[in-house]
Chains A and B, each alone.
Chain A
Amino acid sequence: MLADIASALDMLLSVQNMIAIFVGVAFGVFMGAVPGLTGTMGIALIIPLTYSIEPITAFALLLGTYKGALFSGCIPAILINTPGTPAAAATVLDGYPLTQKGRGGEAMGMALWASVIGDTISTVALIFGAVLLAQLATKFGPPEFATLVLFSLTIVAGVSGTSMIKGIAAAAVGFIFGTVGLDPMMATPRFTFGELTMLNGISLMAMLIGLFAVSELFIQSEAAAGSIKNVLVPKAKIGWDKIRENMKTILRGSTIGIVLGSIPGLGATPAAFLSYSEAIRASKTPEKFGKGSLEGVAAVESANNATAGGALIPLMALGVPGDVVTAVLLGAFLIHGLAPGPQLFAENLDLVYAIFIALLIAALMLPVIGLAAIRLFSRIAMIPRYVLYPVIAILCLLGVYGFNSSPTDMWVMLGFGFLGYGMRKLAFPLAPMMIGFVLEPIGEQSVRQALTISSGDWTIFASTPISILFLVLTAASVVFIARRSMKDRAKANA
């Protein structure tokens, strides 16, 4: 093993590879910070450039991009209420209110350090627990996924604000949007209205940007010219006392991120929302969530960054991609003549260790590049409204178009912009709609696959220890939510 590590260090420690990691992280940060551009897109763009370079340099560049993009989605989420990546959607909930209160610098600082800690922990988990966690992940079949999704749906209560019924309604509407496209089992069209582009379902990016960014544009346009000044965001600065205060939340978020990231098919967005919901459940001040809570930012950012290491576990150990980005990374491995999985560990252990070390170095570079990026993007707040919002509008449109090269997606985005605007006017929370949308396809497919396996016997959902555990957790969550709701009502009446 030591010989392999020495060989890995020898392979990795060169100026060229360090530059590759640095450039990768910086490029990823840029891709994540521009709404509409994503880490997946960044990696896809870089892959052709890596054909002729050494595999380790190529992976240093690609994994750096992956990590950079995961972090920087929080920058526009905190600054302009527009998540740079889907995973940063939950950051909007507390990040933007903090900016509006003039505490954007603290929010950025917390996001950065929670990301760095989450990322580092997940990389260490990847190194030490790759095989172990990959084995656990393989125990997840359709019944376990279905019960996990059921448990995850209790998140809706945590992000519904003060009106849970509006949260449930929003989640149900999101659930309906999630059914658009081809039926997951029969491949028959549902709600596609004859549009070929709708066969793949509603684009998550179009929905996200429409709900959060376009609705914000509409709201901002209502303010009389010059009546609202852009909120000045100071340097990303946060005291270690604040980080220590939120360390439990960060560690919890990191654990959730690693576990959910390692389960193929889930990815960073559900992990971020689950971590947020758990933070509310565990917090001494749950009423502060959604109104500008540093704890909320810490929970979300630690979880979504920790999915990086988690998602690489099944990819590296089993050759199973955990999400879209790792699916693209799998393609990169194959392009370089490497097949991730047990064979990779057996035949190229030095390369595996070199990749692990590169991931740790990328985690160390993240604070440096992240701080510089925050400083750069924070200048956004000093740009006059009549320059900032037109640029945001065109970036939203082109970002959504660039994602699938589909003009239909731009119309879909505009439609969701209207819907988000109307929902905000009627005090409906936006996040539950997204949760319903994200979880519906995973839940539906799992339920239907499980019922096909059991020939329609519903007891399959309580047939394994993992699914029983999730059912118990769901029941406990419902009891907890009901008790909290009763307490809140009693407080309000008192």
Chain B
Amino acid sequence: MSQSINQRSRKTLACTSEATAFQKAFGKELKRRVVDEQEPYAIVQADTPHEIFHAMDIPIITNQWWSAYISAKQLSGRYFDAMVQKGFPANSCKYCSLGLACTLANEPETAPWGGLPTPTVLVARLTCDCIQHVFGLWAKELDSEFYPMEAPAWEHKEEDWYAHAKDAWDRVYQPDRIEQMVTEMEDLIALLEERTGRKFDPARLERLMERINEQEGYIWEAAQAIGEARPCPVSIAEQMPNTMIPQWHRGSDWAVAHAKKFRDEVFDRIEKGLGASSNERLRLMWIGAGVWHDPGFYQALEEKLGAVFVWSMYMPFAGPAYIRDLKGKPMEALASRVASMNETLHLPPWMNGWMTSEAERCGIDAAVILLPPDNRLSQSGTNLTALSLEEAGVPVLRIDADMVDADKWDHDRMVAMVEDFLHEKGLA
């Protein structure tokens, strides 16, 4: 892995450091509740109805967050090795299984928080073939219960779903799929009430959903402004934490206030004509997980070529994926949000339809697509999205996911690859 002076990204917003500081403090608070106070808690996938738990004041540990926490402590290799020693094949899917690997390793002396106590329940939506096995094994190891949720087939296909997700969600997401998820959420609520003694209050969920609409509305306003502004006022390295960290805490007073603060900072920079780069000539789109171990990669060609990454999915997804007119049916509105997270990001026609539209909205000159790593069929849709973008006149550079593996990362080589691509397409 080559080092570079560009590896650190510039931070221009005050709210970015506030978000990361909040998340750090949240980790401590979560540990206090789950480990020290032994409160009932749940382990959940990112695409499950967190709102139910928030409305019942039940702490949750999101699998993806916990995995990142373990990785940040440089423990993933150790625990995956332990999993292989337990007889699991080395090609087993890594994306969702690091938490299980940590539990299987059974090393309180190395595990974050000394390892997780027994949760009330583990919840996952079955968007791939392996997650039910991972969570089933994990529940067994933790002496808990796995509550799987269906990911029903979606036969009603609207290519421009994003334009109707807010007000016509009951049609867009297919009524019987919504009904199925509502039934499952009601069963989950009954289970949680029985196991934790905490009561679900529908009015509290409705208030939470309204607050989430407000929060994601601020993010969406900022996303729209960023799409129109020249130059782009905020780098994708700052768009991401200011969207995602409040999203983990969606509907809370802090999250709503932070989203508003972020929007206001974005508006302020646009009004002052400030750009993430002082030399914006090419607007680039990044499709795929972020290269967070080298955020400076995104800014490496700004000075030389004026090439600025202005779009990644996290921020603009907030609008169509989260905002819902409640129509007096908060459970159904929530079901429509949860029922299609993986589908809209990883299946045609939703993924390519949305991203092509976003490229047009944001004046994108070229896109860089991260092809999914070999262990994730659930990250499909990239090839058809690349073809859709190219048909729409947006040149696409495809990067193999192995190349962005932190252990194999070569900053200079990757920057050169993007530079060569832009030259080849006559953009630079």
- Please say whether chains A and B are actual partners in one complex: no
Question: Could you list which residues of chain B lie within 8 angstroms of chain A, going by C-beta atoms?
Answer: none
Question: Could you list which residues of chain A lie within 8 angstroms of chain B, going by C-beta atoms?
Answer: none
